[in-house]
Structure 1
Amino acid sequence: MRNTRPARFDPTTEQGVLRLSIAASLAMAAAAVGFGLLANSSLIIFDGIYGLIDVVMTWLSLLVVRLISQSTQVEALQSRLNQRFTMGFWHLEPIVLGVSGSLMIGAALYAGVNAVDALISGGRQIALGPAIVFAVLSIVAETGLALFVRRANRAIGSEFIALDAKNWVVAASMSAAYLVAFVGGWALGGTAWAWLVPYIDPAILLLVCLFVVVAPLGTVRQALSDILLITPADLQAHVDAVARAIVAKHGFLEYRSYVAKVGRGEQIELFFVVRADDRPRALLEWDRLRDEIGQALGEESTDRWLTIMFTTDREWAI
């Protein structure tokens, strides 16, 4: 019997790409810690810590993706977990993204403080040979992974994968900074500027930390917006345009719309106020009207939570 289950590392699926990224991140983090200890470089050790944080948060992202995917399957709707979370798991996505970005920022701030302390204390002597080897290997591996993840996400369109691709770009940029710093330190050895060599490692670490602090700010800001249920202006405008057209077409009195974006999920609630003397309609006719509104709002998706109600009492719409 042929196995129809998708491969665990299928690059055409969100979960497959995230699993590949987790495996690569774990390997790179272990290599960074090893080379960092060998070279006595706080810069490379920070790269390893950064990678380990990325592994943990990517694993959490994968878990959330699986929960969201399973919760939207009909056969899973009666599971015990789904009965405890009847509103779905979309709210976990911005939480994970926000925590991930915040941890990256926190780690960078801590490493930045240590870098400043090292600069004040006279710098740090490092073994440049292992450091240069690691920087070259890292640039090749991380650049390749960044390109692979971005290309895979063109068809998938996942916020989690987009953040992961951004993290690989950050990692490759950090490795490029390492290479420039270490090669520069090697070139300065034996010259009148050799006294600068101990300051290279903490100085570049400080610059990298400043970059790492800035990179996730957009993701953290968007995650906070989703957690606070701030209404996206473009989505609200689209929903209002559809609702106004329905009111005009069917002679309703008015409408109320409530819109929020939570991670990949869109939550839309529409209340239409109908005239008290409006002609009686069969339930089937109201359902057809709901279908009309749903189609006007856009293609049906498992990530859209749509509620449409009709009432003659304005208080039900407030």
Structure 2
Amino acid sequence: MKHAVSELLNKCTEQEALRLSILATLLVALFGIMFGVLSGSFAIAFEGFYSLMDAGLTTLALMVTSLIASSSATGQKRSRLNQKFTMGFWHLEPMVLGLSATLLCSAAVYALIGAIQSFLGGGKELEFDEAIFYSVVNLAACIGMAFFNLRVNKRLGSEFIALDAKGWLMSAFITAALLVAFSIGWAVQDTPLAWISPYVDPAVLAIICLVIIPMPLSTIRHALTDVFLITPTELQDHVDLIAEQVVTKYGFLSYRSYTAKVGRGRQIELYFIVSKNLPPKRLEEWDRIRDEIGSAIGEESTDRWLTIVFTTDSEWAE
């Protein structure tokens, strides 16, 4: 069993990890909605709904990763869709990440409003036995899936899996808080503090929402940075350094560089302004210089879009 788990962690692809997460999320969502109805807990029902929405968003993420993978394929694997999107599908990744994070944040805001209304309305009586059983089982599932995603993503480095792992950790935190709250509510029954029992569910839900609402904000910020093609400072500085060295080495007049990060893709355009009096070179020599520049920039992969142009007309570079 241990060997099988280790092999799964070492060989699992991004798409396989997301498929497993979708299946686990659907099971957790149905489990949560069922026990939310049985126990009368809006907090549990919300967690089930939150998980169900997360499963839908993860499915969307899986579709995007499949498109990105297919766009880098060659030969017969390239689909007709790739011929319609010759620039690839990188632009979809930040859009989906931003949408997912925004919806998760919005769901937490909606739940917070519901929790406040419930609290002001006198709270809600619960079946604490069912609620505690649900919390224990769900907490184990969330921790297990979060651990799995984090381990797999050490090797893959996927933003989608990272966001999914964050979602499982958020769910684990929610469930742990629910378990503590439900245990307190169960303990104070038939005591002078029994009056607080109806307020346990809305109070803990409100606290949880206040904690998790800011968590997707960093993902939204990074997604907007990619969508608006804001130049990544570190990449731009690295490209400029290489370009300056090339200008000095080959006696070019100047250069223009343009960089952007779109999801996992890095787009780099370099224009070198060459003197009209420069001795002519064979095309093979220009290609050799391009290869040299590409190697100096580094990180060559299907996620790097590199364009290098040599011209005597600076207007082509503007």
Same fold per superposition (TM over 0.5) = yes
Ranges in structure 1 where 5+ consecutive residues have no aligned partner: 1-7
CA contact (8 A) 1:71 1:82 kept: yes
**Correspondence for 1:4:** none
The 5 A counterparts of 1:153-232 are 153-232=153-232
**Correspondence for 1:309:** 309
Q: Distance in 1 between matches of 2:12 and 2:146?
A: 15
**Correspondence for 2:108:** 108
Q: Which amino acid aligns with 1:90?
A: W
Q: Distance in 1 between matches of 2:216 and 2:106?
A: 11
**Structure 1 residues 251, 70: closer, same or farther in 2, change over 3 A?**
same
Give identity over the alignment, percent: 53
**Correspondence for 1:277:** 277
Q: Distance in 2 between matches of 1:224 and 1:106?
A: 17
The 5 A counterparts of 1:281-300 are 281-300=281-300
CA contact (8 A) 1:119 1:199 kept: yes
CA contact (8 A) 2:255 2:273 kept: yes
Q: Distance in 2 between matches of 1:75 and 1:225?
A: 34
Q: Distance in 2 between matches of 1:79 and 1:141?
A: 38
Q: Distance in 1 between matches of 2:251 and 2:10?
A: 51
CA contact (8 A) 2:70 2:79 kept: no
**Correspondence for 2:266:** 266
Q: In the alignment, does 2:115 pair up with 1:136?
A: no
* Structure 1 position 78, deviation (Å): 5.6
Ranges in structure 2 where 5+ consecutive residues have no aligned partner: 1-7
Q: Distance in 2 between matches of 1:51 and 1:303?
A: 31
Number of equivalences = 312
**Correspondence for 1:25:** 25
* Structure 1 position 299, deviation (Å): 2.9
| Deviation sequence 1:119-175 (CA, Å, 0-9, x none) | 110001111000000000111111111111100111111000011111111010000
* Structure 1 position 10, deviation (Å): 8.8
**Correspondence for 2:56:** 56
* Structure 1 position 53, deviation (Å): 1.1
The 5 A counterparts of 1:35-46 are 35-46=35-46
CA contact (8 A) 2:70 2:78 kept: no
| Deviation sequence 1:37-63 (CA, Å, 0-9, x none) | 000100001101110111011111111
* Structure 1 position 212, deviation (Å): 2.1
Say which SS state the counterpart of residue 229 (structure 1) adopts.
Answer: coil
**Structure 1 residues 209, 76: closer, same or farther in 2, change over 3 A?**
farther
**Structure 1 residues 77, 311: closer, same or farther in 2, change over 3 A?**
farther
Q: Distance in 2 between matches of 1:25 and 1:10?
A: 22
Q: Distance in 1 between matches of 2:77 and 2:282?
A: 29
CA contact (8 A) 1:9 1:19 kept: no
CA contact (8 A) 2:257 2:269 kept: yes
**Structure 1 residues 125, 91: closer, same or farther in 2, change over 3 A?**
same
CA contact (8 A) 2:9 2:151 kept: no
CA contact (8 A) 1:274 1:312 kept: yes
Q: Which amino acid aligns with 1:236?
A: Q
* TM score, norm. by length of structure 2: 0.96
The 5 A counterparts of 1:60-139 are 60-75=60-75, 79-139=79-139
**Correspondence for 2:16:** 16
Q: Which amino acid aligns with 2:87?
A: M
Say which SS state the counterpart of residue 230 (structure 1) adopts.
Answer: coil
CA contact (8 A) 1:271 1:317 kept: yes
Q: Distance in 1 between matches of 2:183 and 2:122?
A: 20
Q: Distance in 2 between matches of 1:110 and 1:189?
A: 30
* Structure 1 position 77, deviation (Å): 7.6
**Correspondence for 1:247:** 247
**Correspondence for 2:4:** none
**Correspondence for 2:3:** none
**Structure 1 residues 249, 9: closer, same or farther in 2, change over 3 A?**
closer
CA contact (8 A) 2:266 2:304 kept: yes
Q: Distance in 1 between matches of 2:313 and 2:148?
A: 55
Q: Which amino acid aligns with 2:149?
A: V
Q: Distance in 2 between matches of 1:10 and 1:53?
A: 29
**Structure 1 residues 75, 267: closer, same or farther in 2, change over 3 A?**
same
Q: Which amino acid aligns with 2:243?
A: A
* TM score, norm. by length of structure 1: 0.96
* Structure 1 position 292, deviation (Å): 0.5
